Amino acid sequence: MPFLLILFLSACKEDEEVEPSVPFPNDNLPIKEQLQGRWINHLRIDNFYNLEGEVIRTDSAGVGVIHEFKGNKMDISYANGERVASLMYSLPDTSTAEKDYIVFLKDGKVQDYYQITTLNDTSMVWELTVDWAGYVDENGDTITTRKGVYTYEFKRD
C-alpha cells in the first residue's frame, strides 16, 4: 500500500493543477442544514426598474437584524434581543431548477418567498422580485415602477 501512495505522488507533475478531493465546507450539505444558526442581515439594496428594464433608482441601508434558523423555524430579532417575528419556512424541491428558494409561512399561509442567490459558510444573499413595485421619492410622492428587486445580504454570526 505505501508503494502505491509513492507511485501516485511521483506521477503528478509539479506545475500540474490538481483538483481538491475534499469539497469546501458545507458545499454538499442540503440547504436546510446550511441555513441553521444565526445570520445577521447587514445590508439591503433596493433596485427599481422602468419598462425598458433599466435601473431608475437604487436605495440601500445597513440593517443589523438577526435571523436565527432552528429546524423549520426562523426567529427575527434586533441586536438588543427584542424579537420581531417568528416564522416557519420551507425549501421547495428545486432539484430540476437552477434556483433555490426559501418560502416563509405565517399561520400556515405563504407570506413571502426569496430566491437564495448565495449560500456558503460565511455569507448568504436573498433576492425578492416584486412586479409593479413602488418607492417614495424626495417630494413624498409614491412612484410605481415596473419591478423592484430587493437584495438582502447576510453574514454568519
| 76 within 8 A of 66, measured Cβ to Cβ | yes
pLDDT digits over 65-107, tens only?
A: 999 999 999 999 998 888 889 999 998 876 767 788 999 988 8
User: Which pLDDT belongs to residue 28?
Assistant: 52
Instruction: Domain count for the chain, please give it.
Output: 1
Residue bearing the bigger pLDDT, 93 or 25: 93
Residue bearing the bigger pLDDT, 82 or 58: 58
C-alpha cell at 54: 433599466
* Residues pairing with 136 in the sheet: 142
Does residue 141 sit within a domain? yes
Does residue 7 sit within a domain? no
Segment 51-70 shows an average pLDDT of 96
pLDDT over threshold 80, residue 54: yes
Does residue 60 sit within a domain? yes
What angle is formed at CA 138 by the lines to CA 136 and CA 139, rounded to 5 degrees? 90
pLDDT over threshold 70, residue 14: no
Does residue 48 sit within a domain? yes
| 112 within 8 A of 150, measured Cβ to Cβ | no
User: Which pLDDT belongs to residue 10?
Assistant: 39
pLDDT digits over 101-151, tens only?
A: 999 988 888 888 899 999 999 999 999 999 999 999 999 999 999 999 999
**HEC-encoded secondary structure of the chain:** CHHHHHHHHHHCCCCCCCCCCCCCCCCCCCHHHHHCEEEEEEEEEEEEECCCCCEEEEEEEEEEEEEEEECCEEEEECCCCCEEEEEEEECCCCCCCCCEEEEEEECCEEEEEEEEEEECCCEEEEEEEEECCEEECCCCCEEECCEEEEEEEEEEC
Distances from the Cα of 110 to the Cα of 65, 87, 106, 107, angstroms: 21, 10, 7, 8
Does residue 66 sit within a domain? yes
CATH of the domain at 78: 2.40.128
Residue 141 sits in which domain range?
Answer: 33-156
Does residue 99 sit within a domain? yes
Does residue 63 sit within a domain? yes
Report the predicted TM-score, pTM, of the whole model to 2 decimal places.
0.77
pLDDT over threshold 50, residue 17: no
Does residue 16 sit within a domain? no
